[in-house]
Structure formats: structure tokens, C-alpha cells
Amino acid sequence: MARKHLAVSAASALGLLLLGACAGGPEGGGAPQQPTAVPDVARVQQATGASGLTAAQVDGVGEVVTDQAGFTLYRFDKDTAKPPKSNCNGDCATQWPPVLSEGSMELKGIENTAVGKVKRDDGSEQVTIGGWPVYRFAKDAKPGEAKGQSVGGTWYAVTAKGGKAGQAAAAPAPAAPAAGAKLVAGQAEGVGPILTDQNGMSLYLFAKDSKKPSKATCDGDCAKQWPPMMSEGDVQLEGVDPKLVGKVKRDDGGEQVTVGGWPVYRFAKDTKPGEAKGHGVGGTWFAIEPNGCKSQAAPQQQPANPAPSSAPNSAPSTAPSSSTGSGGGGY
């Protein structure tokens, strides 16, 4: 059991008014408009004695880090780890109370070298794991819950090394970077050759994005239905030409994986490997092939596009191209 001179004070958010989910709102993962101090967090800090962090198992998520009371802790994609920086303040911190550092702390199943702290905009010091600032979620009402997992496509339970819990459940277990994306040349039923992530989940391109230059236009509520595949360090590849792979900065500051210039997404309604329910949705979403092109397979159905209008109408719509050069696949 390692000990580190830190203490956790995670705010429970009992009695706080919850704001509706919207682009840029706290539940959707957006940082607030005004990065002000967080008096609400300071007022409701838990007055506990010995504090600590524990690596624990949560049903449906896998291994996560919990606080001394057993509540799941989270990381935010709009923060940064190198250097550590918290971008969740004000109303965002009401929904996602930061875990504050104030003294000594016990660690169970976590290397003390993975734990640190970072100064917040209000002057307080927040606990970090693997460089990522960590938070509680106001809607987790009891230990063992993880209602904040994947909220807005930007909030994830944090692992003992600072990675995203549940993101590598199907990946091999050798020593490898805890966080990071993987692209695999795979197959989808009824579609054929496509790209998948490390868990075998189908990946997609959005026709309203652009590939030259790369530009992602699916944000806010759109990104809840179509979570972007984020780039964290080197992208692992399996059966994919590395010349096709890149990244693009999103409007929220995060970096999204691109293949053939196209920003890459998952689909929230795909529930198991091999599904490609998003192929052909709205005539704008298509499974992406390992060569960076959209799949030419006929969609099995053409449901109305569930992606809300948060993707700008003015976003460029790239015309089809037969080009499949190494600089980016055809559309």
C-alpha cells in the first residue's frame, strides 16, 4: 500500500440543480463559458479522515479508480495531461466535482508515481492520475455506480494509470500504453471490410466533415450519438497503412484520429463487435474502410439521421472522389 502526501475531497452534489444536456453544457462535457472559482465545491467538500484512492472493479466498466468512499472517479477529454490542466470549472464543476488534494492519502492498487496534483483556476489543487485531473460525478448516488461513463463522449471512468476505463477490454493485456487509440482492419456483417477500434466496434466517417483539409463538424449532441475517436499518443495499427493515419484538432481542443483525412467516429447504437448500424444513416454517415474510403456496401436500412443539428449546416460536404492515394482515401 503506497502513501502519498495528497488527500481527496470530492464534492457530492446533493441538492444541486442539474442543468439540461446541451452542447457546451456540463453533462455534455462542455467547459462553461466563464472559468470562475468554484465556491459550491468548496462548500460541500467531504469532511473525511484518512482519504485514499483504490483500484476497483465496476460492473459493465471494468477496473476503475474509486475514492475512499467507493465512488467512481473520472477524467475529462477536454482537460490535458501533458501538461496537466483542468478545464472543468463553474457549473461544470457542480456536475463533476473535482477531487481536491489536501494532505496525506492511501493508495491501493495504484502506483504513487502515477498520482500527482495540478493547480485549478480557483487556486485549489486537484488530484491527477497519469497527469489527468480526476473528478466525481454528481449523478452517481452510491458506491459502484458509473453513470458518468461516456457522457458526452468526453467523460470516462479513470484507470490506475490514467487511461479510460472500458476502452481496452477486448485488447490484449501486455504492457502497453494505458491510453491510446487502435485501428484494426476488420469486418462488419452485411458491410464487409471496415475499420474497427481495438474492441471490434465499427468506425465511421461523416460526409459533412471534410478531409482536405481535415475538419470535424460533429460536436455537442451530435458527438453523443457519434463519439469521436480521440488520439492520445501513438495510434496503434493492425492491417492499416500508417501513411493514411493522422489527427485533427476539434473545436473543443481535443485531437481526433483521421484516416485518409476523414475524422473517425463510433456509433452509440452499435452495441457489440461486428455491428454497423450507423452505415448509411441519414445518407451522411458511412462505415470507413481500411483504405480511408467510405464503404460502398448498400445500407441495410436508411433510418432518419439521429445526429442533431449541432453539426453546422454550413459544414463542407465533400464530393465523392476515386482517389485512394496515401495522402487520404477517396470518399
- pLDDT value at 176 more than 80: no
Domain stop point among 124, 157, 190:
157
Q: Are residues 25 and 150 in the same domain?
A: yes
Cα–Cα distance measured from residue 137 to residue 276, given in angstroms and rounded to the nearest whole number: 31
pLDDT tens, residue by residue, 263-287: 999 999 999 998 999 999 999 999 9
CB 118 within 8 A of CB 126: yes
Strands 51-58 and 105-108: parallel
Average pLDDT, the chain: 77
Question: DSSP class of residue 229?
Answer: -
Residue reference for cell 477490454 = 169
CB 93 within 8 A of CB 268: no
Taking phi over 0 as left and psi of -120 to 50 as alpha, with beta for the rest, 160 belongs to: alpha
CB 329 within 8 A of CB 259: yes
Q: Are residues 135 and 262 in the same domain?
A: no
pLDDT tens, residue by residue, 46-100: 323 237 899 999 988 899 999 989 999 999 999 999 999 999 999 999 999 999 9
CB 140 within 8 A of CB 146: yes
Cα–Cα distance measured from residue 208 to residue 32, given in angstroms and rounded to the nearest whole number: 27
Residue 23 lies in a domain: yes
35 CB neighbour count, 10 Å cutoff:
17
Q: Are residues 54 and 187 in the same domain?
A: no
Q: Are residues 275 and 189 in the same domain?
A: yes
Provide the residue type at 259 as one letter. V
Half-sphere exposure of 19 (CA within 13 A, CB side): 18
Q: Are residues 153 and 187 in the same domain?
A: no
- Number of structural domains, the chain? 2
Cα–Cα distance measured from residue 157 to residue 175, given in angstroms and rounded to the nearest whole number: 20
Question: Does pTM top 0.75 for this prediction?
Answer: no
Residue span of the structural domain in which 16 resides:
2-157
